[in-house]
Amino acid sequence: MNDTLNLLHSHRSIRSYSDAPVSDEMLDQIIRAAWHGPTSMNAQEISLVVVRDAARRARIAELAGGQSWIAQAPVFIAVVIDFHKTDLGVRKAGQAQVVHESMEGYGAAAVDAGIALGNLMTAARSLGLGIVPIGGIRRNPQGMIDLLELPPLTFPLVGLCIGHIKDDAQLKPRLDISTFRHDERYDASAYPTAIAAYDQAMLAYWQQLGRSDGLSWSQNLGNNLKQVYFPQLKPVAAMQGLLNDK
């Protein structure tokens, strides 16, 4: 395997960071890795807000539901859907932007945000840094909008902690690859067996880490997916003009 594949195959989220700062040069290289990424229609409807100030990171940790690693890691990057930027181009062309009100617009922007997040993670990890993505900023999106001073037609979709690793994490097992890769046509027949095996593997994983609170995959999903876990997304996005009604 080459270095890139080794890096991607060894992904793990890090939730323990040292005080060591991330240099400006490293941060610039990481951000440029996302900036060079592709975007749907070349719309470039993504912006990054870099937060290094400790008090502001502490506030984000609080908004995300008390995630201490956001306050600990020296860099937090918010990945923002930015239809404000595209609106300026559309207006310059003498047209009125509509796509920000549509599911197509939201879906395309969410994909592009995911690509930006992926490039940020790969770039940071290639420099030996640790990362953890943070969807928890959608718990209180209005708080994030206020903190980052985001204008209408924007939305803080996801964030990323970056820093030097203090305590490394173990690779988390995955569902069998037969549940992920389908050749030629979709086939879910192996799912029940794979899920049963994975539930056992996750319980063993938590036990090995000494985590008595660890749940199986199914139990964890049951707790999380039985409700819309971040219900503020839809109303706050609508207040930002991202109506999602088309």
Ligand X SMILES: Cc1cc2nc3c(=O)[nH]c(=O)nc-3n(C[C@H](O)[C@H](O)[C@H](O)COP(=O)(O)O)c2cc1C
The residue ranges that bind ligand X (CB under 6 A) are: 11-13, 15, 64, 67, 132-136, 158, 169, 172
DSSP strand pairing (46-51 vs 75-82): antiparallel
Tell me which residue of 162, 172, 160, 169 sits closest to 130, measured CA to CA: 162
β-pair partners for 212: none
CA 152, CA 246: separation in Å to the nearest integer?
Answer: 18
Q: In angstroms, give the least distance from the CB of 153 to ligand X.
A: 22
Distances (CA, A) of 160 to 27, 35, 91, 165: 12, 15, 32, 14
Residue closer to ligand X by CB (options 48, 64) is 64
Smallest gap, in angstroms, from Cβ of residue 234 to ligand X? 17
Nearest CB to ligand X, comparing residues 12 and 52: 12
Nearer to ligand X, 12 or 234 (CB): 12
Q: Which is nearer to ligand X, 11 or 32 (CB)?
A: 11
Question: How near is the Cβ of 54 to ligand X at its closest, in Å?
Answer: 19
- Strand boundaries in 9-151, DSSP class E: 46-51, 75-82, 130-134
128: left (phi over 0), alpha (psi -120 to 50) or beta: left
Q: What is the CB neighbour count within 10 angstroms for residue 32?
A: 12
**Nearest distance from C-beta of residue 93 to ligand X, angstroms:** 33
Cβ distance to ligand X smaller for residue 81 or 132: 132
Polymer length of the chain: 246
Q: Is 52 exposed, middle or buried (0-12, 13-18, 19+ CB in 10 A)?
A: middle
What is the closest distance, in whole angstroms, from the C-beta atom of residue 98 to ligand X in the complex? 27
Shortest separation between residue 138's beta carbon and ligand X, angstroms: 9
78/97 with CB nearer ligand X = 78
Tell me how far apart the alpha carbons of residues 1 and 3 are, in angstroms, rounded to a whole number. 7
